[in-house]
Structure 1
């Protein structure tokens, strides 16, 4: 699929977001497959998963690395809840868990009496609601969680809050990355299998409406939409062919940050929230953007 020329959609090209004058810097190398980056806005560090490496790591903006979780159950996506506790999707256990005070608490592990497939990516809303995607990736490979039967007939998107676990969407092929809009009245979800992003409106009572395709993502034989993030101006970042693609709030393709490895996910961070940490296969890269991201809490 060829890149999208925004000027063919609108005569006024959207404003650039990536600071191309700052070099792309690799701050971590030697991983097997990095995923789930999330920035702690108070303690100023990045947490990320190495799925086949079966570890969760923590690193500084400069790349000083330490192991946070030694045996992570092939963890993938990470997020912080409103109290600053780490919420993680585990492929090997097919669970969403929270780590707090040295304890690991299971938040979700079953739907309709059967195990979840393999929770993949997770976000936490301002009201504390947790949203996560549940494709079967962690059951298809020994390195990513272990070959097992897939228990759920659908690859769902779920919400977990004080009312319990709710299935919010069941018509995705391979739901993957997800993010909320700035006002949290919309949720964007990447469908890796269909190479696009869908958008749902969120009502005051939590119900979802819509779900139409919001943007087609430039993809390749392997590269496809995976991670998804929204910055403070409403720009949407998504992985795709060649690196990290940026769409403006009107779904116009702005540009692509080129990355030399296959990109899975990314997170805004740094003291000014203008550093983009990119989880790309064996590495973590650092790029600079001109619009700050949204702090986790």
Structure 2
């Protein structure tokens, strides 16, 4: 029987396995399911899902670097960010990708998690181990901490990040990176938040009521913020309408609910999010990556047979890269994501 795989369970189960990342050899996995005919404009259900590399502890945070034409992605517990480029081997790009030096016993995920590239061309990292949002110069690899505290208290373990208008950044801060989670003695904040870092460096709270905020994304006009909750009691994506100041104008609405596939014990939980230029969401959920219409309707499912933590558009914009448990994969789209 297929069992539901949570992020915590997956990491716990493979923590003791030998770490041997390797290139794939033209392997294809999984498949694509159509729920609605509107899927046909985005992807062909017969398109193969190609495995590019395997052997990672927990692959996450893929981001395409247009200037250079390569993909970066995180192996969070291994504390390494890898680089993939067509025709070359997958190789470490940042080691460590997160917390440097000896890893305290209270830190469970020391590496980089979600990543994006900002308008300045910097790599922006939700650094789980350092418990901060960090900017990295891609040429020199010099790191600058952009956000590490709210009202004097350290963040829990920054998980995912997206660039907003005029230099703003939105990020989530669940306790996944702490060994004991919410009960960790390292936890300083009383909540697991969604935050805004304004262009001038101020930290504002978007929401402090969510148990497990995780993936985060913006609509093409950056007027709606989406937050995925890796919460078995509330497996939803929320939509926040934003005002001119970048803060929510009203309470969020439920954009999509994953209770039904979760009840079927499909692998994974709501996690990473990406939005294409037409406003469709590519959302990790139980079973894989769901393609959701701008209204939140499920159009189809891209599945590898394992939990998919996150995804990213790359190459010419018509490739969707997938970080799925211990593997990196890709699938071709009909319409470009950007």
TM over 0.5, shorter chain: yes
Mapped to 2, the partners of 1:222 and 1:173 lie a distance apart of: 20
C-alpha change, 1:15 and 1:34, in structure 2 (3 Å) is closer
| 1:226-279 deviations in Å (ceiling 9; x for gaps) | 0011011111111122211111011111010121221100101112x0100000
Deviation at 1:104, TM superposition (A): 0.8
Match among 250, 256, 277 for residue 215 of structure 1: 256
Name the residue aligned to 1:23. Answer: 48
Match among 31, 38, 46 for residue 14 of structure 1: 38
Match among 108, 114, 119 for residue 77 of structure 1: 114
Q: What does 1:24-43 align with in structure 2 at a 5 Å threshold?
A: 24-43=49-68
Deviation at 1:170, TM superposition (A): 1.0
Mapped to 1, the partners of 2:73 and 2:185 lie a distance apart of: 25
Q: What does 1:202-241 align with in structure 2 at a 5 Å threshold?
A: 202-209=242-249, 210-217=251-258, 218-219=261-262, 220=265, 223-241=268-286
C-alpha change, 1:211 and 1:286, in structure 2 (3 Å) is same
Name the residue aligned to 2:172. Answer: 133
Give the RMSD, CA atoms, in angstroms.
Answer: 2.0
Match among 288, 301, 306 for residue 256 of structure 1: 301
Match among 200, 212, 216 for residue 174 of structure 1: 212
Q: Which moved more, 1:28-37 or 1:161-170?
A: 161-170
Q: Deviating runs (4+, > 4 A) in structure 1?
A: 4-7
Contact 1:27/1:62 (<8 A) preserved: no
Deviation at 1:199, TM superposition (A): 0.3
SS in structure 2 opposite 1:139?
coil
Q: Report how many residues are paired.
A: 281
| 1:70-117 deviations in Å (ceiling 9; x for gaps) | 112211111111111111111222111111233211111111211101
Q: What does 1:1-297 align with in structure 2 at a 5 Å threshold?
A: 13-16=37-40, 17-61=42-86, 64-72=89-97, 73=99, 74-100=111-137, 101-140=140-179, 148-163=185-200, 164-193=202-231, 194-209=234-249, 210-217=251-258, 218-219=261-262, 220=265, 223-271=268-316, 273-294=317-338
Unpaired runs of 5+ in structure 1?
8-12
Q: Which moved more, 1:132-141 or 1:278-287?
A: 132-141
Larger helix share, 1 or 2: 2
Contact 2:267/2:306 (<8 A) preserved: no
Larger strand share, 1 or 2: 1
* TM-score, length of structure 1 as denominator length: 0.89
Unpaired runs of 5+ in structure 2?
1-32, 100-110
Mapped to 1, the partners of 2:211 and 2:325 lie a distance apart of: 23
